[in-house]
C-alpha cells in the first residue's frame, strides 16, 4: 500500500497587520491554494538560533482563553525568518483546534483595529464616530486597497454594516470607545494632559512619551549613549539616574530613538554588526550583533554618573528590541513625514547625532540634557530607518528567500500586500537555520510524584509471581512496598538498585515491614528477559 507523502514546505511571505495591543504586528498566512482562508499569528519569542522568531496561532489562543478545560492542548506555533514562514502554518507540530478565518472578515477586522489605533495615537478632534466609519468604508470601496474583487469588497462592506454580524453599530461603538480613550487625556479645563520629560524638560502629550520598563539597564543604556555619542551633560545624567532609581519617570520616545540610532551607527563600523535587517516586524537584535567594544564604552561612560548595574551585550540587545517595538511610529515612516537627515550617515561625521534640519520645519528650543534633540518636530523613526538601510546596503551577500516559493501562485504578493497595508520584508542576509543537533537521551532514575497503590493484585504468594516490566516502569512499580503497600517516599523508606552480571537486584528497605517482621525484602531478576521477581527474606542489619 502506497502512502502519499506530503510535499516539502517552501517559505511563504508573511503579511503583517496592526495588532489590537498596539505592539508587534500580527503575521497573516494566506492559504496558497485558497486565498479566501487564512491563519493569524502573534509574536511570542525569539528562537535559540538568534534569527528566527516564534509565532503562535491567534484563533487557538482565543479558544483556549474561553474554555481551558475543553481546549487543553498546547497552542500551535510556527517560525518566521526575515518575514517568511519557514515552517508550515497549516500543519504545525502541534495541530490546530481552531477553524481558519475568512480573509475578508479578518481584513475588515484589522482595518477597524488600525483605525482605532490611529484614533488612540492622534490628538482628539470633534469628528463623530459615524464620520470615521464612513471614511473607512469609502477607503474599502476605493482603489487604495487592492487585491480584492468587487464581490469581495462588497462582502467586506456588508460585513461591517450588517448589525447581526458584528456590523455597523458594533463598529461604531468600537470607534467611539477609541475616541473616548483619546479624550481621557483631556482635563476638566479642556487642556490636554501633558507630562514633563525628565531628560529634556519639555511638556508634551502622553502619546509622545514612554515610561521606562522595570528593567534596570534601560535607563543606564539610554543615559550612557546620550553622554557618549550626543555630548550630554554628566551632572544632569547623574540627577536623572538617581531620580529614576526611586520612581520611573516618563521620557520622550525621541530620546530612546536617538540612543538606538547612535548605537546602530556604531554597530555599522564593527565587523559583527554589519548584518542587520530593517524589517520592523521580523526585526530582532541578537546579542551576537552587539560588539564588545560598544559594551565597554557604555560601561565606562556609566561610571561617570555612578551607575550600579553592569551592562552586557544581552542588555543592549534588549534595549534596542524594546525601543523598536514600542517607540517606532511605523505610520510616520510609511508617510515619509520627516524634516531631519542624519549628517553622520551622509557626510561621514563621527558624531551620530548631528542633523540637517529643513527650512520648512518649525523651530523649537534646545533640550536640557541632549542639546541636539528636537522632540517636537523631528522624526527619529526616519533617522533610524535611514541608518538601518545603509547598514543593509553595505552587505554584499544575500539570500533571496522569495525564489524558494512555489511558482504556481494564483495571486501576486503585491496585490495582497497592498490590501492589508502590510510591511515588505527585506532580502535575507542569512541562510536557512541549520538543523538541530540530535540530543543524547539521558535518564535519571527517580520516583514519580503522584502514583496510586497497586490494585487488583491476585492472591498469589510473592515468591511465585513473575512480572514483565520495562526499566522505567520498574520505578513506578516500586513506588509502594510490595509487602504492605506503604508509600516508600512518604514513609521515609528507601530501595537500592544493583546488578550481578546481567541479573537485576532490588533491595527494598520498608520501615513498616522491618518494624513488623524484622526483615527487608529483595527482588532478584533472571538472566533472561522475563525479569521474574522474587522476594528473598534477609536479616536486617
Shared domain for 240 and 283, answered yes or no, is: yes
285 and 157 in one domain? no
Do 231 and 161 belong together in one domain?
A: no
If you compute the radius of gyration of the chain from its CA atoms, what whole number of angstroms results? 32
- Give the total number of structural domains in the chain: 3
Tell me the three state secondary structure of residue 161: helix
Domain-embedded: residue 300: yes
- pLDDT tens digits, 327-368: 776 554 444 433 333 323 323 333 333 333 333 333 333 333
Verify that 141 and 227 share a domain, yes or no.
Answer: no
CB 262 within 8 A of CB 230: yes
User: What is the separation, in whole angstroms, between the first and last Cα of the chain?
Assistant: 64
| Domain edge (last residue) among 377, 395, 413 | 395
Residues 85 and 37 in one domain: yes
Q: Are residues 274 and 148 in the same domain?
A: no
Question: Does the residue 356 lie in any domain?
Answer: yes
Q: H or E element: which one contains 45?
A: strand 37-46
CA distance linking residue 125 with residue 183, whole number of Å:
9
Kindly state whether residue 95 falls inside one of the protein's structural domains. yes
- Range scoring the smallest mean pLDDT among 1-10, 166-175, 378-387, 388-397: 388-397
Quick one: 76 and 57 in the same domain?
A: yes
Closest CA to 300 of 310, 313, 286: 310
Q: List the domain range (segments joined by +) for residue 37.
A: 12-122+124-183
Instruction: Give the count of beta carbons closer than 10 Å to the beta carbon of residue 374.
Output: 24
Does position 182 have pLDDT exceeding 80, yes or no? no
Q: Clarify whether residues 200 and 170 are in a common domain.
A: no
Cα gap 241→301, rounded to integer Å: 13
Instruction: Examine the domain organization and report whether 172 and 199 are in the same domain.
Output: no
**Does residue 422 belong to any structural domain of this protein?**
no
DSSP 292-357: HHHHHHHHHHHGGGT--SPP-HHHHHHHHHHHHHHH--HHHHHHT---EEEHHHHT--S-TT-EEE
In a domain, 441, yes or no: no
| pLDDT above 70 for 302 | yes
* CA–CA separation, 336 and 384 (whole Å): 13
pTM: 0.42
- Residue 386, pLDDT > 60, answer yes
Q: State the Cα–Cα distance between residues 18 and 120, nearest whole angstrom.
A: 13
What is the Cα–Cα distance from 284 to 317, expressed in whole angstroms?
8
Asked whether residue 153 falls in the same domain as residue 236, the answer is no
Backbone angles phi and psi of 175, in degrees to 5: -70, -40
Span 448-475, pLDDT tens digits: 444 444 444 455 665 566 656 665 666 6
- Both 497 and 348 in one domain: the answer is no
| 141 and 208 both lie in a single domain | no
Amino acid at each position: 500500500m502506497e502512502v502519499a507523502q506530503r510535499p516539502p514546505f517552501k517559505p511563504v511571505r508573511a503579511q503583517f497587520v496592526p495588532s489590537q495591543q498596539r505592539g508587534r504586528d500580527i503575521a497573516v498566512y494566506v492559504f496558497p491554494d485558497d486565498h479566501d482562508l487564512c491563519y493569524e499569528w502573534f509574536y511570542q519569542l525569539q528562537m535559540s538560533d538568534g534569527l528566527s522568531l516564534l509565532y503562535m496561532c491567534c484563533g487557538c489562543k482565543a479558544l483556549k482563553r474561553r474554555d481551558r478545560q475543553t481546549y487543553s492542548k498546547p497552542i500551535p506555533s510556527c517560525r518566521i525568518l526575515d518575514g517568511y514562514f519557514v515552517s508550515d502554518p497549516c500543519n504545525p507540530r502541534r495541530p490546530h483546534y481552531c477553524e481558519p478565518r475568512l480573509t475578508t472578515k479578518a481584513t475588515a477586522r484589522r482595518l477597524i483595529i488600525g483605525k482605532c489605533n490611529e484614533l488612540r495615537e492622534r490628538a482628539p478632534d470633534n469628528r463623530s464616530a459615524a464620520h470615521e466609519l464612513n471614511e473607512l468604508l469609502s477607503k474599502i470601496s476605493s482603489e487604495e486597497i487592492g487585491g480584492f474583487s468587487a464581490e469581495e469588497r462588497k462582502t467586506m462592506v456588508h460585513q461591517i454594516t450588517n448589525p447581526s454580524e458584528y456590523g455597523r453599530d458594533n463598529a461604531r461603538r468600537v470607534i467611539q470607545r477609541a475616541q473616548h480613550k483619546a479624550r481621557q487625556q483631556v482635563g476638566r479645563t479642556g487642556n490636554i494632559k501633558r507630562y514633563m520629560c525628565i531628560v529634556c524638560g519639555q511638556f508634551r502629550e502622553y502619546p509622545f512619551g514612554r515610561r521606562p520598563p522595570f528593567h534596570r539597564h534601560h535607563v543606564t543604556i539610554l543615559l550612557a549613549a546620550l553622554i557618549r555619542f550626543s555630548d550630554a551633560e554628566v551632572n544632569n545624567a547623574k540627577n536623572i539616574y538617581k531620580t529614576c532609581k526611586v520612581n520611573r519617570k516618563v521620557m520622550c520616545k525621541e530620546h530612546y530613538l536617538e540612543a538606538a540610532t547612535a548605537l546602530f551607527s556604531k554597530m555599522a563600523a564593527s565587523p559583527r554588526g554589519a548584518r542587520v535587517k530593517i524589517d520592523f516586524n521580523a526585526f530582532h537584535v541578537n546579542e551576537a550583533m552587539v560588539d564588545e567594544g560598544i559594551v565597554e564604552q557604555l560601561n565606562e561612560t556609566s561610571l561617570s554618573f555612578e551607575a550600579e548595574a553592569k551592562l552586557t551585550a544581552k542588555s543592549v540587545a534588549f534595549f534596542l528590541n524594546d525601543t523598536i517595538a514600542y517607540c517606532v511610529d511605523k505610520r510616520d515612516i510609511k508617510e515619509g513625514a520627516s524634516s531631519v537627515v542624519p549628517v553622520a550617515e551622509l557626510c561621514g561625521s563621527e558624531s551620530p547625532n548631528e542633523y540637517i534640519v529643513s527650512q520648512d520645519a518649525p523651530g523649537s528650543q534646545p533640550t536640557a540634557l541632549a542639546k541636539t534633540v528636537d522632540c517636537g518636530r523631528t522624526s527619529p523613526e526616519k533617522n533610524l530607518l535611514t541608518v538601518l538601510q545603509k547598514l543593509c546596503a553595505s552587505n554584499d551577500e544575500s539570500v533571496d528567500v522569495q525564489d524558494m516559493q512555489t511558482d504556481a501562485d494564483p495571486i501576486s504578493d503585491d496585490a495582497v500586500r497592498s490590501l492589508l497595508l502590510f510591511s515588505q520584508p527585506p532580502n535575507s542576509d542569512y541562510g536557512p537555520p541549520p538543523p538541530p543537533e540530535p540530543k543524547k537521551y539521558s535518564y535519571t532514575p527517580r520516583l514519580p510524584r503522584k502514583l496510586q497503590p497497586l490494585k487488583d493484585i491476585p492472591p498469589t504468594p510473592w515468591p511465585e509471581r513473575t512480572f514483565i516490566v520495562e526499566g522505567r516502569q520498574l520505578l513506578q512499580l516500586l513506588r509502594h512496598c510490595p509487602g504492605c503497600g506503604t508509600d516508600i517516599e512518604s514513609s521515609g523508606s528507601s530501595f537500592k538498585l544493583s546488578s550481578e552480571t546481567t541479573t537485576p537486584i532490588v533491595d527494598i528497605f520498608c520501615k513498616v515491614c522491618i518494624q513488623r517482621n524484622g526483615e527487608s525484602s529483595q527482588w532478584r531478576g533472571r538472566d533472561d528477559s522475563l525479569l521474574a521477581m522474587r522476594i528473598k527474606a534477609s536479616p536486617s542489619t
